[in-house]
Structure 1
Amino acid sequence: MRALPVCLALFWGGMAWAHASEQSFVLLLPTDVYIAAGVASVVLTVLLLAVLPARAGEAVFSPTPLLRRPRWAVRHGTSLLATGVLAFAVWQGFAGPRTPMENPMPLLVWTVWWVALVSLQGLFGNHWRWTNPWTGVVAVLARWTGMRRLMRYPRGWGYWPAVALFVAFAAFLLCDPAPADPARLASVVGIYWYAVLFGVLLFGPAFLLRGEMVTVVMRAYGRMGLFARARGRLAVGLWGWQGVVRRAPPLALAVLMVFLLGTGSFDGLHETFWWLGVIGVNPLEFPGRSAVVMPNLIGLVVANLGLLAVFAACLWLGERIAGTGRSLRASVCLFAPSILPIALGYHVAHYLSAFLVEGQYVVLMLDDPLSSGAHLLGLDGFYVTTGFFNTQDTVRRIWLSQAGAVVVGHVVAILMAHALAMRDGADRRRAVLGQAPLAVFMVCYTFFGLWLLASPRG
C-alpha cells in the first residue's frame, strides 16, 4: 500500500496556533499487520514470564555499577543558565515574532522542554538536576541573604499540589484555545515561575520536590532512565530499573504516574476523527479550538479518572485472585511505576513526527535567536523540509519507530510489573496469577496505543 503524501495545506494552516502534537500526515500503511505484530510481542512477553525462573524478572533490572559518581559542583551554574534561557524566551514571547514557529517561547516550551527534555529525562536519566530553572536562583538568594524557609511544608499535602498543577497544565496544553500563542504562553510561564519561587521561599526545597509540578513530573520520568546513582556510584540498567529497586511511591505520586499516561493518551485521542465524531464536530470543517474547550476538558477528566479506575480494578482483581492480602492502596502504589514505561513510550511515539519538523525550527531559532538576520551557526540558506513525509519508505520508518517505542514501553512495563510482584517474596505462581488482569490491561493498551498512532487526525 502507498503512504498518502503530506497534506501541506492542512498542516501549515493548523500549525499557527497548535502545540507540538499536531499530526502532519494521514497514515495509509498496512498498520493492521504492524499492530498485530506489536500486540503479539507483548503477549509473548507475558507468556515467557509465566515459564521463566522466578527471579528472572528481577535479574533483568539489576543495575551495573560503572564508576564513582563525580562530585560536580556546577548544577547551580547550569540552573542559572537555564533561568537565563527561560527569561530570554519570556521576553521574546512578548517582543518577538507572533508566529509560534518563529518565536523562541513556544519552541523552547513545547518542542525543547515538553518533547525533547522530557523524553531525554525518561530515556537516559535525571538531567533536571542541572536544567531546573529554580534551584540556582534559590541557592544564590540563600547565600546572599541567609534566608530560611518561613513555614514548614504541610506533611498532609504530600504530592497532591503537584497532581493538581499537572491537571491544570494538561488542561492548558490540550484545551486552551491558543497554548502556543507567544505572548499568552509567556504570561503563563512567567507567572508560574514567580509563583514557584515564592513557594520555595515560603516552604523551602520541600515545595520544589513535592509540590512543584514540573520537577515532580521530571523526577517521576527520571525513574525510567538508564543511568542513575546507586550506592554512591553511577550505574546503568534496563529502562525502569530504578522503579524496581526503589521503594514504592506514595499514593499521590502514584496517581500522578497514572495521569501521565491518561493525559498522553487523551492528547492523541482528542485529535482523532473518532473523538471529533463523538463530540459532533466535522473534522473537515473544524470550527477551531475555542469551540471544543468544554468537550475536551470533560474528556481529559474522564480519560484520567477512567484510566485510574480501570488500573485500580485490574489490581484489585489480581489481588483477589492471588490472595496476597495486599490492600488496594498498597497495590496502586507498588505497581504505578510500571505505568511509566507505557507513558514514556507513547510520549516519544506521539511527538516524533512533530519533532522531526519543529526541531528544524529550533535549529533556525538557535541560528538567529533575535530574528535579526544574524546566522550564529552559519545556516544561511537552511530551509525547513517535510519531504520525509512524502515517500512510503520514510513514512514506514517513522511509523515503525513510533510503533517500536510503544511496544518496547509495554514490554518493559510488563517486566517491571512482574519484578515488582516478586519483590515482596511472592512465589511465581501467585505472582503470575495476580498479574493476569494487569497483563490483559497492558496488552489491550498496546492495541489502543498503536491504533491511536495510525488513526487519521482532524
Structure 2
Amino acid sequence: MRVIALSGVFVVLMADALWAHASEQGFVLLLPTDAYIAAGGATVVLTVVLLALLPGGLAAALFRPLAMMRARGALLRHVTSVLAAAGLGVLVWRGLAGSRDPLVNPMPLFVWVVWWIAMVSAQGLIGNHWRWSNPWTGPAAMIGRLTGMRAPLRYPRWLGVWPGVVVFLAYAGFLLADPAPADPARLAVIVGLYWYVTLAGLLVFGPVWMVRAEPLTVLMRAYGRMSLFGRARGRLAIGLPGWKVLCAPKVGLGLAVFILLILGSGSFDGLNETFWWMGVLGINPLEFPGRSAVILPNLVGLFVANAALILAFLGCLWLGERIVGGQKPLACVFCRYAPTILPIALAYHIAHYLTSLLVDGQYVLKALNDPLGRGADLLGLADYHVTTGFLNTPGTVKVIWLAQAGTVVAGHVIAILLAHAVAMQHIHSTRRAVLGQAPLALFMVLYTVFGLWLLASPRGM
C-alpha cells in the first residue's frame, strides 16, 4: 500500500497549473498531459503488481466492513418522499411560470446540479438516501392507504431491468443531444410527465416497478453499492467504497449492462465536447454551430461508445477466462465483474462535474435565497454575485485539478482491488486470479489514461 500512496504523491507533485474547466463547458482546461497520465497509469499498474505479490486475501480484507450500531427501520421515509414530491411540484411550477434563464430558474438548477451532480454523488459516496428522497414511494404509499388499492398487475419477470436500460439510454440521449436540456419550461413538462408515468407504474405493478423499470432508482441503487455506509447483519456498517458489492448477490444480465452504460454514457458526456470529437465531425470548435447541428452525431456516438465499451469489457473477460482455463459462460463472468466498474463510473462522474458544482452551486444558493421568485432574501444573498474568479487563480485551480485527477485514479485503484477480491471468491489461487485479471487490469489502466485525458482536453461546447 505504501507504493500506491507514493504513486499518488507523485501525481500531486507532477501535476502543473491549469486553466479553468466546468461542466457544460463554459471554461476550458488546458494541461500538460504527459506527467500526470503516466503517474495515474503507473499507480494502477503498481496496484496490480502489489496484488500479485501480497497475500491473496488482502483485497477482501480491505473491503471487510466495520459494524457500528443496530440499524432500525426508517418509518419516516414515506413522509420525506411526500415532501420531495411536493418540492418537485414547486419546481415544475417555477419551471413553467418563472424566468426563462436556466441560471435563475430553480427547475434546471435543481435537476442538473442538485440532483444529477450532488445527490447522485452523495448516493455513491455516503449512503442510500434515495429511499428517503425519491418523490414516488411516499405518494404511492399515501394513495394506497387512502384508497386501499393494491397493485393489480404483476411485473413480468422476463422483462428484468431491460425497461430501465432503455429509458436510461433515452435519458442519456436527452442530456447529450437535446438542443435545450436546460430550458426551464421544456424540462418542467418532461419532468412532470415522467413523475406521473412513474407513479402510475408504481401503483399498477408495485415496488418492483421502481427497482426494475425506473432507471433513476436503478442508477441510485447501483451507486448505493459504492457508498461508505450500509447495512451488514442488521447493523449500520462502514467500509471501503465497494464493500457492498462483495456482500450483494450477483447482478443479472440487464443490471450488468446498465452498469456499463453508466460508465459509457458518462465518458461520452465528456468526449462529445472535446476538440477531438469536433474534429471527427468536421466542426471548427471555435465556431460551434449549436447543439441542434450535432443531435444525430451525438446520438450515434453515444450508442457506439457504449457498444464499444461493452465489447471491450467482454473481450477482456473472455481472454482472462481463457487464460485460467475457466469454463463459466461469458454472460455469467460478465455479471460477476460488471459491478467492479462502478468505482470508475462514480469517480469520473464526480471529477467531471466538480467545477460545475463549484460554479453552478452558487446559482443554486441564489435560487434557494428566493425559492418562489417573490423577492425574498432568506439566506441574505440578495446582493451576492456569482464568481468564477477562483478558476483563474493558479492556487485554487491547482487544488481543483488535483482533486479531479486524484478522484479518477482512486476510483481505478478501488476498481482493481474490488475485481481482485471478486476473482478470489471464485479462483482460490492468487497466481491464477492475477493472471485471469491481467486483461481486465490492462483495460482499467487504459481507461485511467483515457479518463485523465478527458479531464484535460480542451472543449468546444
Pairwise same-fold verdict (TM > 0.5): yes
- 1:173 aligned residue (175, 182, 189): 175
Instruction: Confirm whether residue 31 of structure 1 aligns to residue 44 of structure 2.
Output: no
Distance 1:21 1:427, change over 3 A: same
2:274 is matched with which residue?
A: 272
**Structure 1 alignment gaps of length 5 or more:** 12-19
- Provide TM-score, normalisation by structure 1: 0.95
1:335 is matched with which residue?
A: 337
2:387 is matched with which residue?
A: 385
**Structure 2 alignment gaps of length 5 or more:** 1-14
Residue 25 of structure 1, CA deviation: 2.8
Please tell me the residue identity of whatever aligns with 2:365. Answer: V
Residue 27 of structure 1, CA deviation: 2.6
Query: What is the alpha-carbon distance in structure 1 between the residues aligned to residue 341 and residue 26 of structure 2?
Result: 28
Query: What is the alpha-carbon distance in structure 1 between the residues aligned to residue 219 and residue 412 of structure 2?
Result: 20
Instruction: Confirm whether residue 117 of structure 1 aligns to residue 114 of structure 2.
Output: no
1:350 is matched with which residue?
A: 352
- 2:94 aligned residue (83, 92, 101): 92
Please tell me the residue identity of whatever aligns with 2:281. Answer: I
- 1:366 aligned residue (368, 374, 383): 368
1:234 is matched with which residue?
A: 236
Residue 97 of structure 1, CA deviation: 0.5
DSSP 3-state at the match of 2:249: coil
Verify the 8 A CA contact 1:2 1:28 in the aligned structure 2. no
Query: What is the alpha-carbon distance in structure 1 between the residues aligned to residue 395 and residue 358 of structure 2?
Result: 16
Residue 4 of structure 1, CA deviation: 6.7
Residue 425 of structure 1, CA deviation: 4.4
- 1:428 aligned residue (421, 430, 436): 430
- 2:441 aligned residue (439, 442, 450): 439
Residue 372 of structure 1, CA deviation: 2.2
Verify the 8 A CA contact 1:220 1:257 in the aligned structure 2. yes
Verify the 8 A CA contact 1:175 1:289 in the aligned structure 2. yes
2:199 is matched with which residue?
A: 197
Residue 426 of structure 1, CA deviation: 2.7
DSSP 3-state at the match of 1:439: helix
Aligned CA-pair RMSD = 1.3
2:151 is matched with which residue?
A: 149
1:302 is matched with which residue?
A: 304
DSSP 3-state at the match of 2:237: strand
Query: What is the alpha-carbon distance in structure 1 between the residues aligned to residue 275 and residue 421 of structure 2?
Result: 38
Query: What is the alpha-carbon distance in structure 2 between the residues aligned to residue 162 and residue 28 of structure 1?
Result: 37
1:261 is matched with which residue?
A: 263
Residue 391 of structure 1, CA deviation: 1.3
Residue 30 of structure 1, CA deviation: 3.2
Residue 28 of structure 1, CA deviation: 3.3
In the TM superposition, what whole-angstrom CA distance separates every residue of 1:137-179 from its partner, at most 9, and x where no partner exists?
Answer: 0100111111011111001000000000100000000000000
DSSP 3-state at the match of 1:98: coil
Q: Following superposition, which runs of at least 4 residues in structure 1 exceed 4 angstroms of deviation?
A: 1-6
Residue 24 of structure 1, CA deviation: 3.5
Query: What is the alpha-carbon distance in structure 2 between the residues aligned to residue 313 and residue 148 of structure 1?
Result: 45
In the TM superposition, what whole-angstrom CA distance separates every residue of 1:219-248 from its partner, at most 9, and x where no partner exists?
Answer: 000000000011100000000000122121
Residue 194 of structure 1, CA deviation: 0.5
Please tell me the residue identity of whatever aligns with 1:267. Answer: D
Query: What is the alpha-carbon distance in structure 2 between the residues aligned to residue 454 and residue 5 of structure 1?
Result: 10
2:313 is matched with which residue?
A: 311
Please tell me the residue identity of whatever aligns with 1:312. Answer: L
In the TM superposition, what whole-angstrom CA distance separates every residue of 1:51-101 from its partner, at most 9, and x where no partner exists?
Answer: 111111111110000100133311001101110111111111100110001
Query: What is the alpha-carbon distance in structure 1 between the residues aligned to residue 106 and residue 182 of structure 2?
Result: 11
Verify the 8 A CA contact 2:177 2:295 in the aligned structure 1. yes
1:15 is matched with which residue?
A: none
Query: What is the alpha-carbon distance in structure 2 between the residues aligned to residue 205 and residue 59 of structure 1?
Result: 35
Residue 23 of structure 1, CA deviation: 2.4
Verify the 8 A CA contact 1:66 1:234 in the aligned structure 2. yes
- 1:221 aligned residue (223, 230, 237): 223
Verify the 8 A CA contact 1:407 1:446 in the aligned structure 2. yes
Verify the 8 A CA contact 2:362 2:386 in the aligned structure 1. yes
Instruction: Confirm whether residue 101 of structure 1 aligns to residue 103 of structure 2.
Output: yes
How many residues align structurally? Answer: 446
Verify the 8 A CA contact 2:344 2:408 in the aligned structure 1. yes
Query: What is the alpha-carbon distance in structure 1 between the residues aligned to residue 297 and residue 277 of structure 2?
Result: 10
DSSP 3-state at the match of 1:66: strand
Please tell me the residue identity of whatever aligns with 1:439. Answer: A
DSSP 3-state at the match of 2:155: coil
Verify the 8 A CA contact 1:24 1:353 in the aligned structure 2. no
Query: What is the alpha-carbon distance in structure 1 between the residues aligned to residue 37 and residue 24 of structure 2?
Result: 22
2:141 is matched with which residue?
A: 139
In the TM superposition, what whole-angstrom CA distance separates every residue of 1:307-338 from its partner, at most 9, and x where no partner exists?
Answer: 00000010000000011212100111000011
Identity of aligned residues (%): 62
Residue 362 of structure 1, CA deviation: 0.5
1:17 is matched with which residue?
A: none
- 1:43 aligned residue (42, 45, 58): 45
Verify the 8 A CA contact 2:30 2:458 in the aligned structure 1. no
Residue 392 of structure 1, CA deviation: 1.4
Query: What is the alpha-carbon distance in structure 1 between the residues aligned to residue 34 and residue 80 of structure 2?
Result: 46
- 1:400 aligned residue (396, 399, 402): 402
DSSP 3-state at the match of 1:22: helix
